[in-house]
Chains A and B, each alone.
Chain A
Amino acid sequence: MTQARGRTVRPYLRRIGARALAGVGVLFGAATLGFLALYVLPGDPVYAIAGNPDQVSLSAEQVAAIRETYGFDQPLYQQYLEYLGQLVRGDLGTSYQRQQPVTTLIADQLGPTVQLAAAAFATTLVLAFAVSLLTAKRRFGRGVSSVVELFFISAPGFWVGIVLLTVFSFRLGWLPAIGSGGWQTLVLPALTIAVGAAPPLIQVLRNGLEDTLDEPFVLTARTRGLSEAAVRLRHALRHALIPLTTLTGFLVGGLLGGAVIAETLFSRQGVGRVLVTAVTANDVPLVLGLVLLAALAYVVVNFLVDVVYPLIDPRLRSEVTA
């Protein structure tokens, strides 16, 4: 038995190591793209800092001063190295518009967003598992559910939020329309995000379940006298989880994008609102900081999935498949 363990653990660790390295590589690439966005693509960043050149006229000295403050007078490669060095130290630069460290601005507003994303994530998973398990291979259930899913996939998330607001806040008065204090204010925003994010998950999970329920080993399990619930929970569900890996990117994007929309719609505090304000003001360092944070979230989530999946699928653990 120890022999078997030894055979499977080492490739697993190697795989994890490789994935961690790949994740770091992606972050490095993302930072580089970010640098390009920050320094190479836009016209003159000086005006993004000082304001629209149509409205603000700057003297040559003023321009030079700004250039020096932000290091624009340095050669490009030096700026790049400087920028990477800052990133490694956890310094995301200074906001053009608010003249404060980006890190501080983000840290102040991160809490409510994390709360919202977590609540939305939990709701999405509960919805996805419940609906897919209940409707897989059930003709009527999947028919009804498919129509509902198609609707929620196709409806703009914020419009769904507006409808929820109209019904539950204004008509029924059950939940608060705006604000970010207490669990009640989380319900509608989290639900708004979840009904948009869940349908693709439901469809992938259900297709996975249905494919698995057609497998010979499920027939074998049934011939052993297992109940339908046991077949679904003990055998099919685990297999259905495997294709979900393809959706991690979608899920992270859906939750974060959803948070931006939901925070705006429900007037909640959070980094999503900060982002929208920053975009409107062309505050590239702040936008970039937030986008890099999202990339970090994506890399971390993908890494965690990579760590967990071999535990679900032992075939990923061993070196050679027969």
Chain B
Amino acid sequence: MDWFPLYNSLRVAGISTFISFFVGIFAAHAIAKAPRIVKGVLDCVLTLPLVLPPTVVGFFLLKVIGPLGPVGSRVLELWGFRMTMAWYSAIFAGTVVALPLMYRTARGAFETFDVTLLYAGQTLGLSDTFLFWRVILPNCRQGILAGTVLSFARALGEYGATTMVAGYIPGRTAMISTTVYQLWREGNDALAYKWVGINLAISFGVLVSMNMLENRYTRPRKSSAPIFSEPKRFSEPKREL
């Protein structure tokens, strides 16, 4: 059995996740602070690939990075390689479809972040960079991890746009998703089952780890309100103006 599709799928999904991790967090952080109209527009643009059919995403990608597209032709001219029909072409497709998930979950995490922590840090003289890496990110950890896992799962499961920009070339651009389709077309059910099983196992593992994160995330956090061991003896006096 040729293990290339597994290796290629993991490689493409891994790199796509890596890129969407940084782009997604940066976009989420920047957009959370943006004025309302800018926020609305950018939010739509970044979320669009989530709701578009993958073939539409693939179509757009081909028009942009294809050998005749504005980016694709420039790259071919300058460095002499094609951006489509290579193993790394799938990374473009994977990143575009995974980014919305990373961006959305990260933004949700930033929005629930208690901004007084940031203010407190600033008045204490801590730099904004320090506060981003040591206070904001750690306190949004659950959301960001969840986004990363989801992005990876989505990039791994991508088929439509991938097959359009990377095609199916055994040993060069084949991924699990495209391999299963090809095997089914050839009537090679036995091998198709094997790949289906492998894909199920990976997806299952990803979702289980995701659930473990979710559990931790949804469990009531220890409240920051005062915890008193002794019972209240006096009722609060009614506040007077």
A and B: interacting chains = no
Q: Interface on B for A, CB 8 Å cutoff?
A: none
Q: Interface on A for B, CB 8 Å cutoff?
A: none
